[in-house]
Amino acid sequence: MTLAFTVPPPNSSFLGRLDPRWKLAALVCFAAVAATLHTLRVAAVALAAALLLALLARLPPRWFLQRLGTAALFFLLFVLPLPWLLDGNGPSWTWGPLHLSRRGIESALLLTAKAITLVTLFLTAQATAPLEATLKAAHALRIPALLVQLGLLSYRYVFVFAEELRRLRIALRVRGYRNRARWHSYRTAGHLAGTLLVRGCERAERVAQAMRCRGFDGQFRALNTFATHPVDVVAFVLITASAAALAVWDWLPRLLG
């Protein structure tokens, strides 16, 4: 099992005790608003609110920062070039071939704030309920059953897949294979990927057979173990009201101006 798949320990925080349906609905509303913000100031407040939620959720700092760092590797690829490539009417600075614009810097900061907000909300949801509970909550919120089932099966088999990859890598190493920038390594990586795909395909067939043998007819069914308490509704209203306030703050000047 690799570190990337390590789930945080059971969470007994305030957010961890909320009904997963209300929590998921509230976090999705907040994320949807955060993703559509236009002004840096409002995005910074949204980020602060997301970090406050993460704090309330008592996310293990190391676990949180490691995952945020991994996500940052992807979004920084898109964000870092913006100050140098995006030009506008505002101030800009030129040093030889390098051109830096204020609009570019603001756009980069806005995107960064929004990305960190979304990753923080996602990690908060992940850390405060087991994934299967979150997916079942999604099913209860009328997310298509096919997507929920795909999510559950992917979550179940990603570990089996990782274990298979680990065994294949060991098999390569004990036969003297080392990753180097040469044709043989690229071919081997291709064969490895092919082997995993073929095995995955065969396994999918066997899993489908096992499901049919236990009466599966294509319809996803789960026991509803959720229960709404007043605190769930209060938390939902607070989070969605905050999201609505941010949306109004962000859009109102545009609508009025």
Partner 1 sequence: MIAVSADLAIQVRDLTFAYPDGASALVGVSFDVLAGESVGLVGPNGAGKTSLFLCLAGVLKPRATLFQVGGLDPRDPAQRRRLPTQVGIVFQNSDDQIFSATVFDDVAFGPLNLELPADEVRKRVAEALERVGLTGMEERVPFHLSGGEKRRVALAGVLAMRPSILLLDEPSMYLDPRGRRELIQLLHTLGGTRMIASHDLELILQTCDRVLLLDRGQLMADGPARTVLADATLMEAHGLEVPYSLRGNSIA
List contacts with partner 1 (CB under 8 A): 1, 130-132, 135, 152-153, 155-157, 159-160, 163, 203, 206-207, 209-217, 221-224
- Give the residue with the Cβ less far from partner 1, 14 or 157: 157
**Rounded to the nearest whole angstrom, what is the least distance from the CB of residue 212 to partner 1 in the complex?**
6
**Rounded to the nearest whole angstrom, what is the least distance from the CB of residue 219 to partner 1 in the complex?**
8
**Rounded to the nearest whole angstrom, what is the least distance from the CB of residue 223 to partner 1 in the complex?**
5
**Rounded to the nearest whole angstrom, what is the least distance from the CB of residue 24 to partner 1 in the complex?**
16
- The structure tokens 């236990």 sit at 214
**Rounded to the nearest whole angstrom, what is the least distance from the CB of residue 221 to partner 1 in the complex?**
4
Where residue 19 falls (left for φ over 0; alpha for ψ -120 to 50; beta otherwise) is beta
- Give the residue with the Cβ less far from partner 1, 93 or 159: 159
- Give the residue with the Cβ less far from partner 1, 175 or 206: 206
- Give the residue with the Cβ less far from partner 1, 106 or 164: 164
- Give the residue with the Cβ less far from partner 1, 156 or 187: 156
- Give the residue with the Cβ less far from partner 1, 38 or 156: 156
**Rounded to the nearest whole angstrom, what is the least distance from the CB of residue 16 to partner 1 in the complex?**
15
CA distance 193 to 210: 25
